[in-house]
Amino acid sequence: MFTRRPFGPRGRGFGPRPHPMLARANELMAIEDFPGAARAFEELAQAAKGRNGPATPFLYMQAGRARILAGQPAVGVVDVRQALDLFAGRKEWIRFQRNQERAVNLLNRFGFNQAAIDLSGYLADQIPADQQIGTQPAIPFRKGKGQLPVRCSGCGAPLRSDEVDWVDDCSAECQYCGTIARAD
């Protein structure tokens, strides 16, 4: 008898299947197990770096953020620097600057002021003068219409409208797993 195969490739449904460790790392962040999340993000980032994956700098940023939240600013800054160096190598200056500002603000918010100063000083010379956000002719990130979900349905990563790649006015792609999220 003929049976229908479930919709989608091999029954998986829509979009790529996120790596289980990525989903776990995001779960650990959500339950505030920051050391465990940092280890998971670092492992994912190292594996992605080995194959030059597009999510590599985002994974290093999340690892750095987790280390800072765990009270380990020195290790966190190392991860953040790796992420920002990858953004600089790809000439993604807007993402470089936005992520640098987030990291410095996070360090300052938790009282790691010297680490924030050191990170700012290291990074100040990395961006060419003509690539400063204030001198950009237009913001390259397209703003979608409506509100994105707070978390990706595929891997649980946070979705920020200024970090995702917008597919159209109502849909954005998760930078970690590629799942398409629809704005309300």
Q: Could you tell me the pTM of the whole model? A: 0.75
- Domains of the chain (ranges; CATH) run 19-133 (1.25.40), 142-184 (no CATH)
- Residue 46 is predicted with a pLDDT of 95
Q: What are the C-alpha distances in Å from 140 to residues 8, 56, 95, 136?
A: 33, 20, 10, 9
Sheet strand arrangement including 171-173 = 165-166, 171-173, 180-182
Q: Which of 109, 46, 179 is nearest to 38 (CA)?
A: 46
CB atoms within 10 A of CB 72: 18
pLDDT per position as a tens digit, 20-69: 899 899 999 989 999 999 999 999 999 999 998 888 999 999 999 999 99
